[in-house]
Structure 1
């Protein structure tokens, strides 16, 4: 079996596609990060305010500060939000380009 040069996936010596388990696990974490109701609410709130400080997030959503911080950490670790420190305050904004890449990927995945 001769490998096709147009293949997206790498192939093993037998010509079988090889899927990178590490990349699959990383992708699953990103999907898990955005597939959570509270994190979706946080993303929507940040979007509405354009830039928002953590105190405003937890008071607006009526959640504990530690809960907001944990969920923001997940969003930060998956590069879904940007942070900007001003003195003792940390402001959050949306990483729209990353969300667009994820959205485009999902559309292609579902359509295919």
Structure 2
């Protein structure tokens, strides 16, 4: 887990919104792009940053790639934060 990659990924409001969407259900890049007023290549760029941080997983189903949230990364971040708060 690279905290710097995770915090970089979380620094962008579009990526945070993508994560909120993926919390509800797995989606394709096209389905995600429909919710934003930005280009599909921009959505792919945001998804790649989220994947590099380990926050998003992708799985091919037929001709589509579905993206899902990787909750274990968030558990690691919360654990890190809790350790910082311990005296």
Asked if Structure 1 and Structure 2 have the same fold, meaning a TM-score greater than 0.5 normalized by the shorter chain, the answer is yes
TM tier, shorter chain? 0.7 to 0.9
Alpha-carbon distance change, 61 to 103 in structure 1, aligned in 2, over 3 angstroms: farther
Equivalent residue number for residue 35 of structure 1: 11
C-alpha separation in 2, matches of 1:59 and 1:94: 18
What are the ranges of 5 or more consecutive residues in structure 1 without an aligned counterpart? 1-22
Cα separation, 2, equivalents of 1:107 and 1:31: 16
Q: 1:47 to 1:91 in 2, by over 3 A?
A: same
Comparing 82-91 and 27-36, the one that deviates more: 27-36
- SS of 1:91 mapped into structure 2: strand
Of structures 1 and 2, the one scoring higher in RCO (CA 8 A, sep 6+) is: 2
Secondary structure at the residue paired with 1:82? strand
- Of the two, which has the highest radius of gyration? 1
Instruction: List structure 1 segments (4+ residues) > 4 angstroms apart after TM superposition.
Output: none
Which residue does the alignment assign to 1:19?
none
Deviations 1:62-111 (A, max 9, x none): 321011000000111111111010122110011011111112212433x2
Q: What is the rounded CA distance, in whole Å, between the counterparts of 2:71 and 2:20 in structure 1?
A: 12
Scaled by the length of structure 1, what TM-score is found? 0.68
TM, length-normalised to structure 2 = 0.85
Aligned residues: 86
Q: State the partner residue of 1:87.
A: 62
Structure 2, unaligned stretches of length 5 or more? none
